[in-house]
Amino acid sequence: MSDGSQEETSALVVSARSGDKDAFTALVNRYQEGIYAYILGRCRDPEKAQEVVQDAFITAYTTLDKLEKAASFRSWVIGIALNLLRRRKKEIANLDLLEGATENRQAGLEQLANVETLEAVRSAIEELPENYRTALQLHYFDKQRGRVIGKELGVSEGAVHMILLRARKALAEKLKAFAPGDD
């Protein structure tokens, strides 16, 4: 199924930004099924996936002015959904971590270090420019190649390689100062 052209998506985003609710509904109808399938693949829970996707579209609607490239609406909403899913998993992990720590303090401390590391990586990724975040997400999580990433970002395949290189370098720089256990 085709998601429609980037030009159509851009036009719908522009209309939605100016208050056209039907344009946003068209965006939801166009991308909801694919984003749901993507999130369902991540969490394997149909009910949770549906909740996350609904919340992601609500967040997208209320923060539509923050979308830098209108044509990248789909990947932007996927990013929102992934962040929501991660937060929910983290909340559950934190509850499990507390229970585990009371049973076995050392195991709990090791899990806490892992949670801190993951949080540092997530925070560092969120601080990157949108095109870096999108490129990293498509490359590492969606397993996409340069041509597909370039189409999503609106750049050439060669530019994608430079964006990925710079994104990895920027991420490494942000994580350089992070050392679990240092207080």
From its phi and psi, is residue 154 left (phi > 0), alpha (psi between -120 and 50) or beta?
left
Region(s) of the chain under CATH 1.10.1740.10 = 1-81
| % pLDDT > 70, the chain | 78
Per-residue pLDDT at 11 exceeds 80:
yes
Region(s) of the chain under CATH 1.10.10.10 = 104-183
Per-residue pLDDT at 97 exceeds 60:
no
Tell me, letter by letter, the H, E, C secondary structure of 106-159.
HHHHHHHHHHHHHHHHHHHHHHCCHHHHHHHHHHHHCCCCHHHHHHHHCCCHHH
Measured CA to CA, the distance from residue 15 to residue 103 in angstroms comes to 55
Distances (CA, A) of 38 to 11, 32, 33, 59, 134: 24, 10, 9, 18, 15
Measured CA to CA, the distance from residue 116 to residue 127 in angstroms comes to 17
Percentages helix, strand, coil for the chain (3-state, rounded to 5) are: 85, 0, 15
CATH class belonging to 104-183: mainly alpha
Region 114-142: what's the mean pLDDT?
A: 77
Which segment of 28-32, 66-70, 129-133 scores lowest on mean pLDDT? 129-133
CATH class belonging to 1-81: mainly alpha
Number of CB atoms found within 10 A of residue 80's CB: 21
What's the confidence (pLDDT) of residue 172?
A: 82
145 and 160 in contact (C-beta within 8 Å)?
no
The residue among 120 and 169 whose pLDDT is bigger is 169
Distances (CA, A) of 176 to 76, 123, 165, 180: 27, 13, 16, 11
